[in-house]
Structure 1
Amino acid sequence: MTMDVKDIAPADAGDLGGLNHGRSGIRAAKNSLATVVIWAAFVIALLPLAWILWTVLSKGLSTMLDVTWWQKDQSGVGAPGFDHNVRGARHAIIGTLMIALGTSVIAIPIAVMTAIYLVEYSRGKVAKAISFMVDILSGVPSIVAGLFIYAVWVTFFGWKLNGFCSSLALVLLMVPVVCRSTEEMLKLVPNELREASYALGVPKWKTIVSVVLPTSFSGIVTGSLLGFARVAGETAPLLILAQYSQFLNQNLFSGNLAALPTLINTNLPNMAGDSVSADRVWGAACTLILLVLVINVIGRVIGHFTKVKS
């Protein structure tokens, strides 16, 4: 007895349809579960950040919005007959900007040129050695960088400490951050752009300057700002190399120089029993957050108006 295939096809098709429907349901359940887990992880990561921002802003915003915070330093604090309730931080704000800008002037060109060499030119052992050293620098603790500069600057040469020493120590921390981010941005530039430029007879160095760098400029700016944000809040090298001063010092290469992290460290021991010291600590922390925010907004604006349009 023979059986026609058409007689069993509908039943098999129904079984296969049910099997596919079951698999689709399992996939949908897994997708929903993964979505819930990802959103939960996002919320868990966001909660500490929101808590920190709320704590700093609620306790330091009023101090930061006071005009005297930006106009006065702490000259005379501790002297007889002086108002000890002064909450000025002009000396620390200017010192932080000077140290961070001095670091950026040195670190950003070195990091960008190193990234260009690694991506565009070198393909051998030299590139591997340089890449390895950048990885080593990215893992160096900030206190070790400060001790290294102290050993070279004071122990070996016998020179006096100043704010520039802090900038040199922070260069060691900023270079790997900017170098790695710039390297990734250069790798994202399509090779077709380089090949089109070479086909027109443009030299390689001019292709880099005229095609590669403008295409990745917004990413390079973002990486530079990440490095700036890191060095602006570093404390350990400043404790060793930039001795705190209550006075405004506008010379990066001479004398003690205050900064917002050292202002926080100086007032932190008296924070529990002195409301003025507590206001200075929270005001300096809030000012650091505002400083990083403003720098990032400026970088975004610069990157928006300078990126290559499609």
Structure 2
Amino acid sequence: MDDSNYGQNTSVQYCFPDNTSSCIKEVRSGPAYKFLFVFLSCVSVCTVFLNLLVIISISHFKQLHTPTNLLILSLAVADLLVGLIVMPVNMIQLMDSCWYFGKTACSVYPLISFVPMASSLCSLILIAVERYIAVCDPLVYSTRITVCKTTLVIILGWSLCLFYVTIYLYINNHLFPSQISSSCYGECVVVLKHFWVVVDLVVSFITPCCIILILYSVIFKVARRQAKAVKAMRNGASHKHRAKASSSSETKAAKKLGTVIFVYMALWIPYYISSLSVESLTSSSTVWTVFGWLQLTNSSVNPLIYAIFYSWFRASAKFIVTCRIFESSSSRFNLIPEHF
């Protein structure tokens, strides 16, 4: 079929013209690819900008220094790395199929790209556990879940993700430059063996998602029971009204964070389903490209969900954009008036 039907003009060149063993690159410069490049560039910039807003907000404003927000901060850091490093590199490879950064970078890049994505899921698991304790066992929440403990757990979670991804890449022969085999100079292809794709599916997707779904099913069941109990006390004394407000607040928080989790699952499921249909999955395949970018867009969606659901994020973003955070007392600004 003629490529002109798609409005694409593809010319053949070499990745490194001065190297006789250089790979042939496809320069995709048609109108459709130009639009795609501009669109993905905007996605990358928005991902970096929005997640920076989340990171600066939680880091700067003391009122936001809570265990829940620290977990959101961890998620935002992972999403920032995706927008800052993973998306631009993927765009370069998408536009001309060449790897310009050498074998060492080729071996390190999958580590840099896989760890943030694994850490995102780890953060979502920790968020689900934190919400479970907050809703189902609120009396012990303040003693079990503290800022210090949450920080240590986040560090441990990132360390475990780094360890898992390192082992995973080592098994798939893509951890050291000497393990990488390429047909020509300027190629960086990650080949994932089918067996280990299945193992990764169970270890880093099915099991965590089952844990998250079970925890949230319990959370919403308890929340409904609490809502019924609170409804029966609507005409009670003032302390009952405070109990109502507290229960309602925890339930709303669980629903908001539950939305983040279910969006995550919806964007990741296509990749894992498709990966089971092939013997090996390579980073140069169409499946990897399409569903890989679907995964990456999750890093853009998360801060948008915060903007929609969280009033503190909208308030803090306004202070940041208007440069009011440079005021001497800005870290003590009140972002949640109802707490007074």
Normalising by structure 2, what TM-score?
Answer: 0.29
Q: Which structure is higher in strand share? A: 2
Rg larger in structure: 1
Normalising by structure 1, what TM-score?
Answer: 0.32
